[in-house]
Amino acid sequence: MYTDKYIPEQEMIDDYQKHFYGFNPSLFPERFKFFQQLWNNFVVSKKNTLNYTPIDEWVFREDPKFIKPKQK
């Protein structure tokens, strides 16, 4: 329940997708399929451009000037 009104789960999902995609995918399946293909092509392009390196790889690199020497 939300604000004293029962909203079915599918209606909430539809409203979220309408907000996220700009349209309701269940009402426009062709448009949704096109959007998904476009997004997939974008992701593949980014992976190829970065040679499959994660965008945030720098976070995991160890910089020698920040590594503390091991205690004996």
Would residue 38 count as lying in a domain? yes
Would residue 3 count as lying in a domain? no
Output the pLDDT for position 26.
84
Percentages of the chain per state (helix, strand, coil), in multiples of 5: 55, 5, 40
Would residue 43 count as lying in a domain? yes
Judge whether residue 16 has pLDDT over 80. yes
Range of the domain at 25: 9-66
Would residue 16 count as lying in a domain? yes
Q: What is the pLDDT of residues 24-70, one digit of tens each?
A: 888 899 999 999 999 899 888 887 877 766 666 666 556 555 555 56
Would residue 4 count as lying in a domain? no
Would residue 31 count as lying in a domain? yes
**Cα 35–Cα 41–Cα 57 angle in degrees, nearest 5:** 120
Please state the rounded mean pLDDT for residues 18-24: 86
- Which residue carries 């992701």 as its tokens? 43
Would residue 71 count as lying in a domain? no
Count structural domains, the chain. 1
